[in-house]
Amino acid sequence: MTKSIYIAVLIFCCYACKKEKQVEVEVKPDALTSFVNTFIGTDGPGNTYPGATVPFGMVQLSPDHGIPGWDRIAGYFYQDSIISGFSHTHLSGTGAGDMYDILVMPTNSRSSKKIKENSYKPFSSFSHDSETSSPGYYSVMLSDFGIKAEVTATRRTGVHQYTFPKDSLSQIHVDLGYSLNWDKPTETYFKVVDDKTIEGYRMSKGWARDQRLFFVINLSKPFKSYTLLSDGEKVTSPVKGVNTKLILDFSTVENEKIVLKTGLSTGSIDGAYKSLKAEAAGFNFEEIKAKADAVWNAQLQKIKIETNDIEKKTIFYTMMYQSMLAPTLLSDLNGDYKGANDSIMNAKDYDRYDTFSLWDTYRAAHPLHTILHPERVSDMINSLLAHYKETGLLPVWSMQGNETNMMIGYHAVPVIVDAYFKGIENFDAELAFEACKQSAIDKNRQIDDYMKYGFVPIDGHHENWSVSKTLEYAYDDWCIAQFAKDLGKENDYKYFSERANNWKNVYDSKSTFMRPKYKNGKFIEHFIPKEYTSYFCESNAWQYFWSVPQDVEGLIKQVGGNEVFEKKLDSMFTYSPFPSDKLPIFSTGMIGQYAHGNEPSHHVGYLYNYIGKPWKTQERVREILETQYKNAPNGHCGNEDCGQMSSWYIFSSLGFYPVNPAQGVYSFGFPLFDRAELNLENGNTFIVESVNNNSSNKYIQKVVLNGVELNKNYITHKEIIKGGKLEFFMGEKPNEDKNFLIALSSEVFK
């Protein structure tokens, strides 16, 4: 292998503490991993983690401060200054405080400080100046101990390397009783097999009620002795308990490295042994780290952009990275996994995935996967169908082989239907339709009321979310109708087409908003659209008004036509909250009433296209791209949400976006880069070029596809995967003479 030539690139990051930090990064000519800043989202509301993982992997090995709270949902918060260890599982950018399995912490005789805030766990201070992270790798100096900690990962293993100073009392703590936020252990198990091998499991409950993680730990150096604790009392191996901990003792010389490998499985200890043997043989940390970097680089190469703006390039590739942190692998090498029916199941001929944040990710993340990762999408669809076979319903928000029932809708439906119409292979379409239909006629989560009344009525529940449920259910019903039509199921097509119009039942012509209703059909009396109430899911009436992607034309007509719709859209972006307004924690990234920090707003900027004002879409999309994402720890304006926030950026910076996620159509917006090359899994290449791209040329003058000027304001999925070249010709002023046609929002492009 020829030696790579390295070039130095300076990246300047302005952090939330208002202190500029200059980071020198060594960049290989084709090493796109060098443009990933894994700290984006670790400050502010992003809730991301900076640790080591591989694309869609089972392991997310990342530092934990050990202190609970909303800001530390992912275990890490950039403003904190201590580390209490490195746990093997984390959620990316959610509002859910769960996971944090198998905490590992190296210590020695230099410090024995304890504090109440982290439940008196061993900890060390650290500085961001001695902290390094890149895809598949994280490193920090634990300053109180003088120990350098490094971690990397494979799909099912976490690998630690600790460089110790000279000390006769060096230790590695493995803590199964450690818990944070919503997570609590229910049963843990340790068995010391020999002086280099430990096996066990950690069962826990939290947001996901029945989590099971089996593990095997191998060490590169034998420990000289150990202490096994259960509820703080010394015990002998093996031990079962709720709060167990193992402390391994070593004598180390100066700069001695000890490698600790943890194989994981949700099925069995035997599965964890196989993970180690297949994925992390030997103790060459640098080799495993290099493989993780190579895996990430191969995935990032799927889109190669050209721009002179290093900040934007860093944001783009970080968003690419974050779009591949979920869903996460659940199954073993032999296919075993903990099923949603609480049994050990087996995925035959596919990888079983979980961590489906569907209320968020159906909008852009899953459509992006269909372009970049169609082979993996096939496994994802089979994973959704496995959940159906195990429980009788498709998942709502599933994690670690559990249904959490978080959020609303039956949004596995658009993910499946989108995959079906885009030709994703190797799943049973008839079974998929059955799963979609059964999930839509289930009598839980007020679906029974929805079927009875044609809308979800208000009730006394604190998360009634009646209007939001009505709108989300109606969209999913439209998806089922299209699926039924293509499969020749005429009765189902008619039935679900009628249900797809249920959004009209909560439209109030007097207020021109979607308005909560009683069971008797009367609208609620007190109604202020900008108020955040229990009738709208994490939003208000302004933000949910636009949630009719299956019938934008019908929504325009209902409001009173293009002119009225345009004024309402304008107001959405200009009617700012008053200083006295009480905004909830999820109301972030505000531009007027538009909240980019939460998903219901994500398609709204593109709706000007439907009234013949594409230049207004171009203005708004550019504004969002340039103001709501930064190359800094607080660079996300809201929860990253398992790839949705990042996928919005990827699509929008390329110049198009799926307003109706299951339609197979991408509406034009604003292309951010000079050139982007999409290297597709089918071997084709799709190129997007922005001609005359500079800060003054803010508007699209014309669009050319494969040498032919388009008279439409969209591109289809089929046109992208065929390969070719899409050119945006930019200019200083809006092209108001160009009559761009927009696809009907209800038309499916197969």
DSSP annotation string for 319-358: HHHHTTS-SEE---TTSEEE-TTSSEEE-SSS--EE-EEH
pLDDT at 396: 98
Buried b (16+ CB within 10 A) or exposed e, 708-733: eebebbbbbbebbbebeebbbbbeee
For residue 354, being part of any structural domain is answered with no
Question: Which residue from 260, 253, 193 is spatially nearest to 221, judged by alpha carbons?
Answer: 260
Measure the CA–CA gap between 324 and 333, rounded to whole angstroms: 20
Position 388 scores a pLDDT of 98
- Is the peptide bond between 327 and the residue preceding it cis, with omega within 30 degrees of 0? yes
Per the listing, tokens 């990933």 go with 36
The low-confidence residues of the chain, meaning pLDDT below 50, are: 1-27
Tokens of 684: 């084709």
Best CA proximity match to 466, nearest among 452, 479, 450: 450
ω into 457 cis (within 30 of 0): no
- Distance set, CA 429 to CA 389, 395, 483 (Å): 14, 17, 9
Give the containing element (helix H, strand E) for 216.
strand 211-219
Neighbours of 297 (CB within 10 A): 18
pLDDT of residue 344: 98
- Decide if 16 is inside a domain: yes
Q: Say how far apart CA 604 and CA 612 lie, in whole Å.
A: 15
Residue 650 in domain: no
Is residue 568 one of the residues assigned to a domain? no
- Supply the range of the domain harboring residue 78: 7-300
Evaluated on CA atoms 570, 645, 642, 390, the torsion sign reads: positive
User: Can you give the CATH number for the domain in which 73 is found?
Assistant: 2.70.98.10
Give this prediction's pTM: 0.95
Domain count, the chain: 1
Q: How far apart are the first and last CA of the chain?
A: 44
Residue 378: which of 339, 328, 336, 416 has the closest Cα? 416
Strand partners, 225: 249
CA gap 554, 336 in Å, rounded: 47
CB 429 within 8 A of CB 381: no
| 641-669 b/e (C-beta count within 10 Å ≥ 16 → b) | bbbbbbbbbbbbbbbbbbbbbbbbbbbbb
Number of Cβ within 10 Å of residue 74's Cβ equals 28
Residue 84, in any domain of the structure: yes
Q: How far is the C-alpha of 356 from the C-alpha of 641, rounded, in Å?
A: 10
- Reported as a single tens digit per residue, the pLDDT across 603-630 is 999 999 999 999 999 999 999 999 999 9
Q: Which residues pair with 217 in a beta bridge?
A: 198, 262
Backbone angles phi, psi at 499, to 5 degrees: -65, -30
| Tokens read off for 266 | 């949700």
Does residue 636 lie within any of the structural domains? no
pLDDT on residue 29: 52
CA separation for the pair 402, 498 (Å, rounded): 32
> Does residue 148 form part of some domain?
yes
Confidence at residue 689, expressed as pLDDT on a 0 to 100 scale: 98
Contact 277, 193 (CB under 8 A): no
- Of 640, 573, 608, 626, which is closest to residue 734 (Cα–Cα)? 608
CA angle 262, 266, 267 (to 5 degrees): 110
Say what the pLDDT of residue 126 is. Answer: 98
Report H helices in 394-465.
412-421, 429-440, 447-453
Q: Is residue 603 part of a domain?
A: no
SS3 563: helix
